[in-house]
Amino acid sequence: MSISLDEVRHVAKLARLELDETEILSLQGELNALLGHFADIQGIDVSGVAPTSHAVSLQNVWSEDAVGPCLPREKALKNSAMSKAGLFVVPQIIED
Amino acid sequence: MSNFVASVGMEVHAELNTQSKMFCRCPVSFGGEPNTRVCPICMGLPGTLPVPNRKAIELVLKTALALNCTIAMHSIFHRKNYFYPDLPKGYQVSQYGDTNPLGYDGYLEIPGPDGETKRVKIRRVHLEEDTGKLMHLPSGGSGVDYNRAGVPLMEIVTEFPPDITTPDEAKDYLTQLRQTLLYLGVCDGKMEEGSLRCEPNISVRIEGTDKYGTKTELKNLNSFRSVQMGVQFEVRRQIAVIEGGGTVAQETRGWNEQKEASYLMRIKEAENDYRYFPDPDLVPMCFDDEYIESLRATLPELPLAKLRRYENDLGLSTYDAGVIAADLNRVEFFEAAMELGGDPKAVCNWLTGDFAKLLNDQGLMPRESKITAAHIVELTKLIADNTISGKTAKDVFAKAFKDGRMPSEIVKESGATQISDDSVIRNLILDVLNANPEAVTKYKSGQMNVKGFLVGQVMRSSGGRANPEMVQKIVSEELEK
């Protein structure tokens, strides 16, 4: 299994990364090396082993439905690039 | 011209009735000053850890059970990754997979127009979190409010191929689903406030072909009417495109309520590549049969079952049963009246007639008014035993609505009791006959219709209190003498 240059470009676009051609080439190599490791793992016989989604053996960690404190709005907005009337301001979104 | 058939899939989002958000304990409520119900977790700040809301999980499980789903005894949360300013973390926590959603492979039955029941298969009922709200700023740019970000959201999706084939069925499905959610108390169902949102996807194909057409998804539908009209519009639009030699594009369209038309929002591209993966911050949920059965035991009688019971056991018409069952406030009132020994049909008539009208005029909920089930039951009994006429009852009810006094008290005080004493009525009638000799002569010469006039005169002379049936009967007796 290997990854094409176009796939690297696609993944970069999804991640909102601006990459030049040199970076794309070098990332292709790195990603393919990673995929190589996965290929090794895929070679292991795991029939009869239940799939796992977590490394820790915890389950059913939850909280009761009770209201707790919020951030004061000044603090919530403090790190925003721009805010107005209590709103975070972002470049105009056309739809929705 | 070919015959087209439509297929409508329904994707419904319901905000859950919890006090706090899905993964943090910020309060959940509609409106409020922007960004006042936020914290580092729901704003996706680095270094925070989400903790699921147990109540939200329970509400989704209850819904899944009510919708006849299989429950995922082992279920996990995934991250759905995309960039949009209303999504502070860069991903939405959701549930991916066929058998991973808390509920899957269920169905909802909807009452059809012909008394039949139609079954709509449901593919999945899963739990996720709501996004923030974007608003256009007049000065340019968009404003973001994260009060809604992280509110527990349940998604209910119908099975493909869809069972729904008409705009009416789409509306009926949504109606029945909303009622079910309200009965379960899991969502407040306010479409206009967006706590219940419906996004149908619509395709058409030529009848007899088995290949489904390209789907379009419809957004911004904020009432039952707009769902019905929107689906109708899309079906017609797509047929027109195909008949005009074109092809339907896979796209998301918005509904313009004013223009009653859909418009193109965006073409769906392959970039909807969400790269779902298990959320490493959230550990699996595992349930046992005992827990699931204990939840099942808390399910109330559901709307359709109630409707059928009112029909079959209480003898209400399908229409009346539906009107009562559609509204939990009415249900509560109606059932309290039944416990007090009220007659189903008579109580139903008051609930859906005069009472509904007065409530509506004043913008009140039944329990906010001074009328209780006991008032209505007493009133129907006063009519049934001929103490008052139906006409008097309307006045008595209006008075009771105003001051909350019991109907019997009002009747006693006003002397408005119905006259059912044979000799009293007969005397009234004899007075009227003596005062109208020409009418009596006409009757005897075969003009039977003057009887109505005479009955009217008797009712008037009694101030409307004479028992109408007795008046009819005794007038006939006296005229035939």
Residue-wise pLDDT for B138-169, tens only, equals 888 999 999 999 999 999 999 999 999 999 99
Gap between the Cα atoms of B375 and B377, Å rounded: 6
Confidence of residue A96 (pLDDT cuts 50, 70, 90): very low
**Chain B residues within an 8 Å CB radius of A95:** 254, 265-266
Structural domains in chain B, CATH included, are: 4-291 (no CATH), 303-414 (no CATH), 422-480 (1.10.10.410)
B34 vs A85: CB contact, 8 Å cut-off?
yes
DSSP A50: P
The answer as to whether A83 is a domain residue is no
The mean per-residue pLDDT over the stretch B56-63 comes to 98
Gap between the Cα atoms of B151 and B133, Å rounded: 12
The answer as to whether A70 is a domain residue is no
Q: Is the pLDDT of residue B373 over 70?
A: yes
Q: Is the pLDDT of residue B305 over 60?
A: yes
Output the furthest CA–CA distance in chain B (Å, rounded): 101
Closest residue in chain B to residue A12, using alpha carbons only = B271
Q: Is the pLDDT of residue B269 over 60?
A: no
pLDDT score of B390: 82
The answer as to whether A90 is a domain residue is no
- Could you give the 3-state DSSP secondary structure of residue A87? strand
Of A64, A66, A95, the CB nearest to B265: A95
**Chain A residues within an 8 Å CB radius of B83:** 16
Of B54, B84, B136, the CB nearest to A62: B54
Say what the ipTM of the complex is.
Answer: 0.90
**Chain A residues within an 8 Å CB radius of B19:** 65-67
Confidence of residue B80 (pLDDT cuts 50, 70, 90): very high
pLDDT (tens digit, 9 = 90+) per residue, B405-420? Answer: 999 888 887 766 777 8
B284 vs A59: CB contact, 8 Å cut-off?
yes
B26 vs A68: CB contact, 8 Å cut-off?
yes
Q: Is the pLDDT of residue B382 over 50?
A: yes
Number of separate domains in chain A = 1
pLDDT score of B215: 94
Gap between the Cα atoms of B419 and B474, Å rounded: 13
pLDDT score of B478: 87
**Chain A residues within an 8 Å CB radius of B281:** none
Closest residue in chain B to residue A83, using alpha carbons only = B143
The answer as to whether A13 is a domain residue is yes
The answer as to whether A59 is a domain residue is no
pLDDT score of B421: 83
**Chain B residues within an 8 Å CB radius of A63:** 25, 51-54
pLDDT score of B268: 55
Q: Which of B42-51, B128-137, B247-256, B440-449 is least confident?
A: B440-449
**Chain A residues within an 8 Å CB radius of B140:** 92
Of B18, B34, B81, the CB nearest to A65: B18
Gap between the Cα atoms of B203 and B225, Å rounded: 20
CA-CA distances (angstroms) from residue B210 to B5, B7, B35?
11, 12, 50
A59 vs B285: CB contact, 8 Å cut-off?
yes
The answer as to whether A80 is a domain residue is no
Q: Which residue has the higher pLDDT, B183 or B116?
A: B183
Gap between the Cα atoms of B354 and A90, Å rounded: 53
Its pTM stands at 0.86
| Residue range(s) defining the domain that contains residue A20 | 5-42
Probe site for chain A from B51, B59, B74, B283 (most A CB atoms < 10 A): B283
The answer as to whether A88 is a domain residue is no
Please give the radius of gyration of chain B, using alpha carbons only, rounded to the nearest integer: 30
The answer as to whether A57 is a domain residue is no
Percentage, residues of chain B above pLDDT 70: 98
